[in-house]
Structure 1
Amino acid sequence: MTAVSSPPAAGTAPAAPADLLARLVDAAHRQTAERRAAVPLAEVERRAAQAGPVRDFGAALRAPGLSVIAELKPRSPLKGPLTDDYRPAELARRYEAGGAAALSVLAHTEGFGGRPEDIATVRAAVGLPVMRKDFVVDEYQIAEARAFGADAVLLVVAALTAGRLSELHAYALRMGLHTLVEVHSVEEARTALLLGAANIGVNHRDLRDFRIDLGLTARLRAEVPADRVLVAESGVRGPADARRLHTDGADAVLVGETLMRSADPAAEVAALIQERS
């Protein structure tokens, strides 16, 4: 998959519908530019320095058994709206009641309908570690995540050049944040390992053709040392998938759509946790 790291040129035609990754990255650049124009980076960094203590995202995922990162997002760029009544604080409390180890909060607006401010709402509602889920392309997003109370940020290898990935990873660590580095191939997993990533996410969805390959976790577990946390992402439809992925070596699963569509998110999280090898 071709890496993308530069903002779109003025007047550039929209990406082809199939090029989902490029469209989402372009949108992240636009959103970040708009927010930077309203509040400069220096001010956001000042606010970040005053944020409360970071909760230990990595330790939460290393607990015995299968950990669940429960995701909050109002919509999907592929599936459209996932709820007509998005209440992040209430949903976060339900996830916590079900036994989630950590929460993933979508802050990408164009593709997922989320806002960076949702991080602060969720952080105030629960005692769990909170991750900013986004296509992070700029230090501004990382500082903003910390300012709003995030404990971790997602970095997508396919969305960045190796140089920018390294810079953003280092900046996140300097800000005191944990990272989840997302990969989709053996080559990208090796890039994450060279980076020193402690938590590696395996995205089962190929953003070129949208196919789901749950077998990817097992193949990449063979490449990732046991001292690194492996998180299985995308396509987890229920307890049977969770059981398979835990058997395949996942320490945690990140689940969004299944939980967002559930009538009882707490029970759904609890069912996923019970599926252990």
Structure 2
Amino acid sequence: MNILDKIIQRKKDEVTFSKSKISVQQLKDSEFFDRKGFSLKETLKSKSGIIAEFKRKSPSKGIINDKVSPVEVVSAYENFGASGISVLTDLDFFGGSFDDILNIRNQVHIPILRKDFMIDEYQFYEAKAIGADVILLIAACLSPQKVQEFTELSHELGLEVLLEIHSEEELNHINKHIDFVGINNRNLKDFKVDLQHSVDLKNQLPSDILSVAESGIYSEEDFRFLKEKGFDGFLMGEYFMKDENPGNTFRNFISNVTS
């Protein structure tokens, strides 16, 4: 069983437990459920293109940074030009929680991506209830039919959809309603990073869809390479979070790649 399989198995148990504690109706009655979301489609084009991530740890790297405040970090991300914020909400493998989004929702005025392993309709109501604007669908753990169903549900709830792929086989998960296709530079099964593989996949995407390079962007040179190859967005977390002051690292990065 690879790490992705372990995460999905744990996620099934987690969702079952959550359903037993909070009903969908209770989620619908929450503070943020009826708010109009911010559009990542709009901010990707008008700002830096970077979706800056708040992430404490990962299965491949262990603890990255568990000392900083989500509000402090994401406020700096916004102030220095991030197009959006990505927040891990998986607890067991990434050290995240719903509170990380709940605590920042009223502090930033750009889109928030709930980054998690979405396998059940219930999770989309959760995402809306905690104030997310965008959700992630991972092709590696969903069928094309499920991607279609979850995309339709997301749009009904006012959520945009980032579909993540990593292989040619997963290109058939793309449907005309997807808002963005993210290409993960890191293989979720063995965590190897290959930027050229991502570029090759990007060249096979429909010409009218926004593309996001995800993960494994470790330098300004990596960013420039992917930007030159035509990616519209860049989801980056570890590069900033590994510093004791992620906001300053983000500011310096933006300054250097835009100068």
Q: Does 1:51 align with 2:46?
A: no
Partner of 2:13: 30
Partner of 1:232: 213
Is the Cα contact below 8 Å between 1:72 and 1:106 reproduced in 2?
yes
Distance 1:248 1:272, change over 3 A: farther
Q: Aligned Cα RMSD in Å?
A: 1.9
Q: What letter is aligned with 1:102?
A: G
Partner of 1:161: 143
Distance 1:55 1:87, change over 3 A: same
Q: CA deviation at 1:76?
A: 0.8
Rounded to whole Å, the distance in 2 between the matches of 1:175 and 1:85 is 34
Q: CA deviation at 1:126?
A: 1.0
Q: What letter is aligned with 1:236?
A: I
Is the Cα contact below 8 Å between 1:204 and 1:213 reproduced in 2?
yes
3-state SS of 1:109 partner:
coil
Is the Cα contact below 8 Å between 1:74 and 1:81 reproduced in 2?
yes
Distance 1:198 1:50, change over 3 A: closer
Structure 1 residues 20-41: Cα deviation after superposition (integer angstroms, max 9, x where no partner): 1111111221222221111012
Is the Cα contact below 8 Å between 1:103 and 1:130 reproduced in 2?
yes
**Aligned positions of 1:8-23 closer than 5 A:** 16=1, 19-23=2-6
Q: CA deviation at 1:230?
A: 0.6
Partner of 1:148: 130
Rounded to whole Å, the distance in 2 between the matches of 1:225 and 1:82 is 35
**Aligned positions of 1:241-260 closer than 5 A:** 241-260=222-241
State which of 41, 44, 47 in structure 2 corresponds to 1:61. Answer: 44
Structure 1 residues 150-187: Cα deviation after superposition (integer angstroms, max 9, x where no partner): 10100001111222222111111110100100000123
3-state SS of 1:114 partner:
coil
Is the Cα contact below 8 Å between 2:36 and 2:158 reproduced in 1?
no
State which of 183, 187, 202 in structure 2 corresponds to 1:202. Answer: 183
**Aligned positions of 1:51-130 closer than 5 A:** 51-63=34-46, 66-130=48-112
Rounded to whole Å, the distance in 2 between the matches of 1:106 and 1:36 is 20
Rounded to whole Å, the distance in 2 between the matches of 1:140 and 1:237 is 34
Rounded to whole Å, the distance in 1 between the matches of 2:87 and 2:129 is 14
Distance 1:157 1:276, change over 3 A: farther
Partner of 2:250: 269
Rounded to whole Å, the distance in 1 between the matches of 2:75 and 2:206 is 33
Is the Cα contact below 8 Å between 1:202 and 1:216 reproduced in 2?
no
Q: Does 1:183 align with 2:185?
A: no
Q: CA deviation at 1:195?
A: 4.9
Q: CA deviation at 1:148?
A: 0.9
Gaps of 5+ in 1: 1-15
Q: What letter is aligned with 2:186?
A: R
Number of aligned residues: 258
3-state SS of 1:125 partner:
coil
Is the Cα contact below 8 Å between 1:61 and 1:229 reproduced in 2?
no
Gaps of 5+ in 2: none
TM-score by length of 1: 0.87
Rounded to whole Å, the distance in 2 between the matches of 1:262 and 1:226 is 36
Q: What letter is aligned with 2:23?
A: P
Q: Does 1:214 align with 2:187?
A: no
Rounded to whole Å, the distance in 2 between the matches of 1:186 and 1:59 is 28
Rounded to whole Å, the distance in 2 between the matches of 1:141 and 1:104 is 16
